[in-house]
Amino acid sequence: MNELCVVSGKLQLLSIIGDPIAQVTAPLMINAEIYREKIADVLMVPLHVTPDGLQNAVDGLKSVQNFRGAIITMPHKQHMLSLIDSASETASATGGCNVIRRDSKGLLYGDMLDGDGFALSLLERGINIEGSRVYLAGAGGAGSAIAHALAGRNPAELIIYNRTHEKAVALVNKLSGLFPGRNIKIGNHIPEEVDIAINATSLGMGVNTDLPFSLEELGPNTLVCDIVIFPEKTHLLSLAEQKKLSVHTGKAMLDAQIKLMLDFMLHPKN
């Protein structure tokens, strides 16, 4: 697609907001989907916004009449929730949002699609969450959203680990209240045999090679997942492949979310 051919006074603007931003692939994917679906006069562009500038950026976007919505990426998912006007039950429950839209009055509404996107990406591969033993590293915005989505799909066991222990405890307590009867517990950085092991932290992004958890005790049939998108093959996933374990990339989660995000921003149901 030649982006210049859609840039006119009729243009409706979508964005992705993060820090850093050079690594994101969502604009390419969203714009390709816009082209495939023949959606006229809509374009997504990246906006590099630091945490210190997020408040001003959000205030400005409320006044941009042709701004329709944005994907929110690291590290803004949790902070963004306090800056918008309203949010979905999922976003409120998980304490963060990864997509926002602007209405005709300039009000911003947010949702959290990370959890549904991740679950959908597994289901599209024929991987069942129900009845599986699942280990999750990360209790931030994305981690909380994925934990909620997993807990709602009746896993046999959900084990949550976070470097800040208190955040893991808080998330487990919240989930236990929302999903009584589910087997949800605290884990550590060395997961034992589980069916699915997930990194929902930013460790492994870019040139970072820190591991979010150890692979040493995982069984041969464990699926190792990473939500980091750049690089697509993180250090964690490379080591997992060396151990002959199956892997699931962050790009798979993003692929599953693209239509969900575009529909949220352009076709509000309420």
Active site residues: 77
Helix, strand or coil, per DSSP, at residue 157: strand
The set of residues, in sequence order, having a beta carbon less than 8 Å from that of 196 and lying 6+ positions away, is: 122, 127, 129, 132, 133, 134, 135, 222, 223, 225
Helix axis angle, 165-178 to 141-151, nearest 10°: 30
Distance CA 29, CA 150 (A): 26
Give the total residue count for the chain.
270
Please return the burial class of 141, using the count of CB atoms within 10 Å of its CB with bins 0-12, 13-18 and 19+. buried
* Separation between Cα atoms, residue 202 and residue 235, nearest integer Å: 12
